[in-house]
Chain A
Amino acid sequence: MRQQIEGSQAVARTVAACRPQVICAYPISPQTHIVETLSRLVQSGALTGCEYLNVDSEFAAMSAAIGASAAGARTYTATASQGLLYMVEAVYNASGLGLPIVMTVANRAIGAPINIWNDHSDAMSQRDSGWIQLYAEDNQHAADLHVQAYRLAEEVSLPVMVCMDGFILTHAVEEVEVPDAEQVDAFLPPYDPRQVLDPDEPVSIGAMVGPEAFLEVRYLAHLRQMQALATIPRIAADFAAVTGRHRDGLVSRYRMEDADLVVVALGSVLGTLKDTVDSLRDEGLPVGVLGITSFRPFPLAAVGEALAHTSRVLVLEKSLAVGIGGAVSSNVRTALAARPVPTTTVIAGLGGRPILRSSLDTVIRGTLAGEVPDLFFLDLKTDLVEREVARMRAARRSGPAAENILRDVAGVGDPHAVGRPR
């Protein structure tokens, strides 16, 4: 049934329809609504055959998920931001052990400075963790990706992160057709683990592997992700057959016909980008949008093919790879290795800075005109940066940068400047 519903609620109800047997979670905003709702569904008896474990940290959440999944249970957890970082050691273990856990990451910045708002820094920090990463464009997509994530995880025996923009999607109330149990049952077979901890047939999982075989085990992890490149589109097509909702599993193309410039992005900003591109197209500007749904495995061939005829690429990133620019851009450039074209990295939306249509419009026009540098920070307040740089030049003890800049923003003045009142 189509309903007007908060993104977190839609995801919680969708996860419940997937009949998880163990949910272990530690609440962290902005995914709190998801696990709160799931805990209520378990408690009320609406979600049966499921044990809800309220654990004492994210590290415990992933550790419990590993145990549950290894024992053959369909397992779910969710986290964000520092919570994801806190569980990282176990995150790598889950993928290394080939356990098909599904985890929602309600994308958020990571500190310092402390920031509770949306960007992709958290999930991007785990791009090489061995987990599959799927990015949702809207809440319908987020709900649908969770169902597909279970099918994918269990088919290839790898864990899957479904990444959805924190607050922007999790807290947005919009139209979603929440997949019901009947649809999910028609699409998602019961979990048949490749390996299982069973007291009747004891095996050990997680052995010490030395130099003689470590490379081979890691190679197999890569091989399974490469296999997933074929599995993901097939699963998306199967899902469309059951629900009538089709989206390409790896990448999504929008107004790419004869595009001289293609904007590449992940997640909810794709919606704003599409509106921006529509108005630019109305003016006759040849611009298109390429959304990447599967960031891991990275669809090198699909991205290369989609960008085969464009003469310029703009990669819009909600995460800053400090010291180089953007992680997505590096991957896109690899996809373009056979036919390099000028590629601009635009860092935007960090720590919840709104990505405005007007700013996108300006940077796209500028890129078409060749006026935007290879690495550009959208809506960077250069005056604030310059003032802090000047302070750092003027005095060794210039103080903490974040607090200095906050004072400038508030217009309170500079407490370190000589002669000014404190």
Chain B
Amino acid sequence: MFQARIHGRGGQGVVTAAELLSVAAFRSGHHAQAFPSFGSERTGAPVVAYCRISDAPIRTREPVVAPDALIVQDVTLLRQVDVTSGLRSGGYLLINTARDPVDLALPLPAEVLLATVPATELAVTHIGRPVPNVALLGGFAALTGLIGLEALAAAIADRFPPQLAAGNEAAARAAFAAVEDPEVRHATAD
């Protein structure tokens, strides 16, 4: 079972991102479960959502406490919330920022594959709005290899009206291409 946790702020589409990730995984033939951490439906407040992906049916309902992967939609959360809590060694961390991952100087477990992508800028370019959630899923697909870009594109097409879907898909593809570049990735020492 692969467990992802998405951190962001109210209004950034955190819950939608977890849902889309689960739909993309489902479309790729996996079982998937997405659910939000509830109660903080205020614009700007820290929000967490979870997605589990497995080849067996998923029964557990506990929040993801030991994630295999983290997506951080808002880099300012790094100073406010213990976002990397429980991240396993060998896991993945994707952060929405234009900065180099090494410059963030995060205390991380061993062998974490870390990448950054300017998802907000990509969203503004392709959608015209600073909503980074879907672009980050493109980056997540590239970083983890867990879901295919085509399954993600199909999940996006299911979820949004055509024009918005096209913009989000373009942003996701741009982020995928960016994270595929080994230059933006950084593995912590073992």
Contact = CB atoms under 8 A, between A and B. Distances in A.
Contacts of B38: 30, 116-117, 167, 171, 352
Contacts of A138: 59
A174 interface: yes
B61 A271 contact: yes
Interface bracket on B? 20 to 34
Contact of B35 (A3, A4, A117, A173): A173
Contacts of A50: none
A172 interface: yes
Interface stretch (A75-83, A182-190, A353-361): A353-361
Question: Which secondary structure dominates where chain B touches chain A?
Answer: mixed
A260 interface: no
Nearest to B27: A4
Contacts of A4: 22-23, 26-27, 32
Interface string B50-68: 0000000111111101000
A356 B65 contact: yes
B31 interface: yes
Interface string B6-48: 0000000000001100110011000111111011000000000
A180 interface: no
A326 B6 CA distance: 36
Interface in A212-236: none
B59 A272 contact: yes
A82 B33 CA distance: 29
Contacts of A274: 59
B32 A174 contact: yes
A275 interface: yes
B62 A354 contact: yes
A220 B61 CA distance: 40
A173 B39 contact: no
B152 to A, nearest CB: 13
Contact of A172 (B23, B31, B35, B39): B35
Contacts of B27: 4
Contacts, number: 68
Contacts of A167: 35-36, 38
Contacts of A175: 26, 31-32, 57
Interface string B97-134: 00000000000000000000000000000000000000
Interface in A125-139: 138
A138 B60 CA distance: 10
A74 B27 CA distance: 36
A152 interface: no
Interface string A140-183: 00000000000000000000000001011001111100000000
B61 A269 contact: yes
Nearest to B63: A354
Contacts of B23: 4, 173
Contacts of B19: 6, 173
Interface in B121-149: none
Given A116-B38, A173-B19, A352-B38, A268 B31 contact: no
A47 to B, nearest CB: 22
B39 A116 contact: yes
Interface of A: 3-4, 6, 30, 116-117, 138, 165, 167-168, 171-175, 268-272, 274-275, 352, 354-358
Given A167-B38, A356-B62, 9 more contacts: A6-B19, A167-B35, A168-B35, A172-B33, A172-B61, A173-B32, A174-B22, A271-B59, A357-B60
23 contacts: A4-B22, A4-B23, A4-B26, A167-B36, A168-B61, A171-B36, A172-B34, A172-B35, A172-B61, A173-B19, A173-B23, A173-B34, A174-B22, A175-B31, A271-B60, A271-B61, A272-B60, A272-B62, A274-B59, A275-B59, A275-B60, A355-B62, A356-B62
**Closest 10 pairs (CB-CB, A-B):** A271-B59, A4-B26, A173-B34, A172-B35, A167-B38, A173-B19, A4-B23, A174-B33, A272-B60, A275-B60
